[in-house]
Structure 1
Amino acid sequence: MTETQNTTTLISGANRGLGFETARRLIEAGHTVWIGARDETRGREAAEKLGARFVQLDVTNDESVAAAVATIEAAGGLDVLVNNAGIAGPFREASELTAADAETVFSTNVISIVRMTLAFLPLLRASRAGSTGADSNGTGTIVNVTSGMGSFGAVTDPDRVESQIVAPLYQASKSAVTMLTVQYAKAFPELRINAADPGYTATEFNNYGGPQTVTEGTDAIVELATRGGGGPTGTFIDRSGVAPF
């Protein structure tokens, strides 16, 4: 982990769970953190509790994202974008899942990353994170929170818990997030764009069923967000290191 100074970070879906813990840890590491949340009351409460800034953000809405860009740009810009917002989708048998269900899951988990990446691209390109002089150019960072549930290596390995779960829409959406990460890393080589698998973590998202603590679940996210614009791009890691695609 590289300690970074004067680094500004936006985390979507950060009023609870992994996003909230990521915000806490990045503030502790010296970042200025924006809590992005759809619900203004919950978002402001989370920001006040942590000493963060709040911006209203619905990642599925063009106008909301554009307004967030304007707010953050006016406040000085952005160095790190953590695309954390996501949904599990309906908990039903595969035979009961509909096309409308798929549209909802992919809109939040995948299309939102396209929307957020392109909207914040100018600010991230202007980032000076990791620069050492007044005229130095830095490198913006994007961390996409994906899942081992979308890893072909994990879901076909009988020794891994991911292989025991059948959640077609969520798992397909997370595979798409990881592929978007790789392709955007190729398309925007001036940025550092990587994907993080939190692992099976006890949060409200899974009814607190995971064996990992929320701090353990944010290890990979925090690692990627604190590299100061350095390190590899187009990778997929978990808290143990490089993870199988």
Structure 2
Amino acid sequence: MEYGIRDHAVIVTGATRGIGRGIARHLGARGARLTITGRNPKRLAETSAELDGLGVEHLAVECDVADRDATFALAARTHERFGRLDGLVANAQTFRPVTALEDVTSSDMDLLLDTGPKGTLWAMQAVFPYFRDAGRGRIVTMGSAVGMTGGAGYGPYSASKEAVRSLTRTAAREWARHGITVNCVCPASAAHRRPPADDPDRRAVFDAMYAQHPMGRDGDPDADIAPPVLFLLSDASRYITGETFMVDGGGQMRA
């Protein structure tokens, strides 16, 4: 396909479950060569085996996105393996339980900032030299609607996601001259974080997310979230940069 990503080398961080895993499956099934990351060895091995079953050429690397040196090594290893580096999906970020703002601790903020905006920045910096030298690159970051609406109980997470969107716009402005586009996707798909029945606080926040939702459902990682990401990684999106895409079934209209 003219605007496909066959044979492109793409890094997908946090690809061992949920949205990241769905994106990896979708891209791999359409011919991309992947480097997938995760911190849980068991889940990483399971995702790697799944990609093997689909015939997807890939690397599976344990990596903490908060570790800048490890992220730079990841980009170098990807380029060495595939001889090219075309795209980055900066999906990984640690999550914290619902916490009232007055109870947020330093460790809460540090964890979300280290794995969110800082981890995203390290990944963008790591791939930048390869994209610059090739005269082309595609970066997709992950934001969240709660960053814009101020989801109650999600203070550190919301703040970190808005910082990711800000870095996205700055990178888009600075790197466009190198043929690099940088866009943010705000997905609505939390299947692997669905709150348990014995946690009424989280259940209430989750239910509120889908109250009066136009489509009345969560997004499917493979069928709903991954296709727009593929578009942003392809040359069909070459004149789009610095944008935020609400891939949320119209959920933002509730705000």
Q: Please give the TM-score of this superposition, normalised by the length of structure 1.
A: 0.81
Shift of residue 164 of structure 1?
A: 5.8
Whichever residue aligns with residue 64 of structure 1, its letter is: A
Which among 106, 111, 117 is matched to residue 104 of structure 1?
Answer: 111
- Contact 1:2 1:228 (C-alpha < 8 Å) held by counterparts: yes
Helix, strand or coil at the partner of 2:5: coil
- Detail structure 1 runs of 4+ shifted over 4 Å in the superposition: none
Distance 1:5 1:229 in 2: 16
TM-score (norm 2): 0.78
Structure 1 counterpart of 2:40, one-letter code: D
1:141 counterpart letter in structure 2: R
The aligned residue for residue 218 of structure 1 is 226
The correspondence for 1:67, drawn from 68, 73, 77, is 73
For residues 240 and 107 of structure 2, the distance between their equivalents in structure 1, rounded to whole angstroms, comes to: 37
- Residues 50-199 of structure 1: matches in 2 within 5 Å? 50-51=51-52, 52-75=58-81, 76-127=83-134, 137=135, 139-151=136-148, 155=149, 165-189=152-176, 190=178, 191-199=180-188
Q: Deviations over 1:155-194 (max 9, x none)?
A: 1xxxxxxx66341111111111111100110111120100
Runs of 5+ consecutive residues of structure 1 not aligned to the other structure: 128-136, 156-162
Count of residue correspondences: 222
Percent of aligned positions that are identical: 24
CA RMSD of aligned residues (A): 2.4
SS in 2 for 1:186: helix
8 Å Cα contact 1:141/1:229 also seen in 2: no
SS at match of 1:13: coil
Alignment correspondent of 1:130 = none
Inter-partner Cα distance in structure 1 for 2:43 and 2:3: 31
Question: Partner residue of 1:29?
Answer: 30
Please list the CA deviations of residues 2-31 of structure 1 after superposition, one character each: whole Å capped at 9, or x if unmatched.
323321111000011100000111112221
CA distance in 1, matches of 2:79, 2:71: 12
Query: What residue ranges of structure 2 are gaps of 5+ in the alignment?
Result: 53-57, 197-205, 211-216
